[in-house]
Amino acid sequence: MMSKDEMPPSIQRRNPRPPGVLALVPVIALLLAGCAPAPVTAEGREVKSLYDTFMLAAIVVFAVVAGLITWSIVRYRARDDERPPARFATNVPLEIVWWSLPTLLVIGLFTISAQVLGAVDARTPASALDVEVQGSQWQWTFTYPNGVRVSGLPQQAPPDVVLPVGRPIHFELTSPDVIHSFYVPQFLIKRDTVPGIANHVDLTIDREGVYTGQCAEFCGLLHGDMRFSIRAVSAAEFDACLSRQPLPGS
């Protein structure tokens, strides 16, 4: 057989040493975790914290498992000058460890997930601003407590909904036709509008800005046009907007 030094350079270049792919995995995972948009609601921050916790747990588990596998391969590789390593059928203490650690990890992740889910799904106090949100083919209609509506039309400028920061908002979600999904990436929460069911999501926006939303459930021909934007303003500016008729953007 031809040794590597005897190979033509072109062949040597086609067989490079394998890169440290395993070392890149945690880096890629961290970069992907950074893809989640920065949350702008109190509830979104809890969701982001949950994402980060899961990512951290996954990195630790990967490092431990890959590290033990690598150590076992190197430490117990076959050597000509050694007898084969001892073989065991069972090892009760070790089995208890590798059964209990993943079980405790799963229970812990389940517990904090249930806590975050409960907090995100909680109804806000009676002082919340009630906003009705109707998703229909293919537009969104937002109705304020005073009856003012902000509505969009397909293939036209999306509706611009003005909302206050620092005040709980109760979104009542409905649909007259098919399932749509109310989704603003910076909120980190998505909720369906389902015909015949009054769904809801309660949020407190804590940063002023304009946040683009989009229907996230394929609902037919012009699904892609079901966009909207939420303009979060100070409470004083919101009250001033609400007292004007019609609202900006309506």
Query: Exposure pattern of 181-207 as b/e (b: 16+ CB <10 Å)?
Result: bbbbbbbbbebbbbeeeebebbbbbbe
Give the SS3 label for residue 87: coil
Residue 133 CB, nearest distance to Cu ion (Å)? 13
Give the SS3 label for residue 171: strand
Residue 184 CB, nearest distance to Cu ion (Å)? 14
**Binding string, 178-197, against Cu ion, x = CB under 5 A?**
--x-----------------
Residue 250 CB, nearest distance to Cu ion (Å)? 22
Listed in sequence order, the residues at least 6 apart from 139 whose beta carbon sits closer than 8 Å to its beta carbon are 151, 152, 153, 154, 159, 226
DSSP 34: T
Query: φ and ψ at 192, to 5 degrees?
Result: -80, 150
> For residues 200-229, which are near Cu ion according to CB under 5 A?
215, 219, 223, 226
Stretch that binds Cu ion, among 6-14, 174-182, 201-209, 234-242 (CB under 5 A): 174-182
Stretch that binds Cu ion, among 4-12, 158-166, 172-180, 190-198 (CB under 5 A): 172-180
Between 45 and 227, name the residue whose CB sits nearer to Cu ion: 227
Residue 215 CB, nearest distance to Cu ion (Å)? 3
- Which residues of the shown chain bind Cu ion in the complex (CB under 5 A)? 180, 215, 219, 223, 226
